[in-house]
Structure 1
């Protein structure tokens, strides 16, 4: 599936930014520590010298990633910003309006819109378990990838009828941006609006944070790059919001337009090219801190078995310096992390809590306080804790890992 041109502007001006080598798929947890990883794929980013979009040019087939992925449902993770986003979308749709969500997952956001009085809500979802969960809430869901779903909707005369199309944490997964925006244009009424919510990669670039990178995210957006993509496809921002969610999130409600001006990039080429060295420096410093802690008698753990943790462990080669990964989801406990083969435990699993321990917090910023308090409540021995995820200053966080 190797692409030699930019998926946004289609120029053949791609240059390699960083190569993490062969990496496992983050959600392919293993039943046994001796099991081989079922799929290993090169994880490398290229940057378009023309439009600035950072992207994976050889993505994994989406069919392999999403149709049997049962470890990430919307209601499993706190989304404090979702209420404000739902207010914004509901106000744009009006009580008599209709909203379609692409990648509706278990119907969490559609349910919020329904609670706010939106007249008609429905979704598109490729994962059968997530779709079933949404349907169990009484929501209408068209199952399948976007192209399949649009074909089904077209056959039922349901194209061009929506006031708002929503795509929350979806656009970064889309391999063919042209097909996505063609579908959105076909789904919307002539005066309809598009609401997108995406991870903002600018902070990770500045800090040398690789936790925002994983195989499902094939495009990495900054504000100006996203605005440029919207403009190319006939949309102009009407409302913008930024949130400290999942490393930094940018949300935009956009209206159709025929005269959008593509903004100039604010992330410079030099800033992007400095990213690999920052990642290398951070990884070296983190390994040194973990080694010193273990030498001083500390147990070392990473809290959170999500995709961000998987990339940090494997890309920065932390596996030999960690005892285990701790996670609150029973579905993951008792399994093993892909790549590193580290065991996934519950915090209350019987680990010796009277021994000094250091925890790397591989959770989103909005969960760090909850997790930190839980660890302090359970662990009786001396503790060290530090965040490994943006939007925190991850290099400054290393100061918390002194023996």
Structure 2
């Protein structure tokens, strides 16, 4: 074990008070995990996690007695959420694993910080810090690995993965965030156990994928997962021979100064590696209804022959039209035309279609035909670059009928 004498800057106003309260009851407490790792790198961390020898029931009793909220958010895992002066802390009693089925671990409480560190995933996530001693405790060379940019499982990679198969996806996420040098043993273990990802709940898979797609270098990590056939274990897509068009979406978004949504990134992956996916399948994959609708609409518009009127229709009908334009530009040959139309339209005020159902009804058109006729006239209006007036459209409809 390495004990690094160092004072860390922690992005928190109240963490010392929380630790002092625990220590005053003859218990020990340290910061652990991401907050320590990020502080060493000089990165501000939003979550401050604490580990302690104090049992959950005592934590709740002590902090409530002092007038602070103590919520048993993960009581069966030994975690209590402490709300101290508006700041939330996850405080977890030291634990050791007794058994695991790859999804859930059976644990019991421990008194040893090293024993607790053993049950964590990567060496860079097992660091703990005592601000009163100004010491970082490093049991597995995590500081060295952090400096090298090496994301490495603690101990035997296969055993760590068998404890929780989500660690396969976490490996790719943390490599995307901190990695410079690939640990080959860790990668090979992920590939070996990739089929077990299907044992995980779709919620956990989706949550981890969202985090991967939010990385600045997400294209590289998705490419690595595709090459290792791990992407195909988490999404119903075939192996993608080339992800150039997926990466192109990122380039176009940057060029147009648009933030590409995760839903559009998913749609690009489905378009490149799937013959078709339904709205129902998307819901089953734990996309929200709004996400599923967006992806479904994007996949429905894929077209190799893009006319300007088609692009204007997308613009007038969708508030998030930029996502549609980028999706199309990434997949189609006419990306320059699509980008140019986007630049022309992006700051233009949208006009309202001058007709409604009442106008059509006044012409004596039956309810069953009104929708079809409105769609026909709207297409004409869009093709005219929105210049046809209400009078023009009604006259056109009369002539048509």
Shorter-chain TM-score range: under 0.3
TM-score, scaled to structure 2: 0.25
- The structure richer in helix per residue is 2
Structure number with higher strand proportion: 1
Pick 1 or 2: higher relative contact order, CA cutoff 8 A, min separation 6: 1
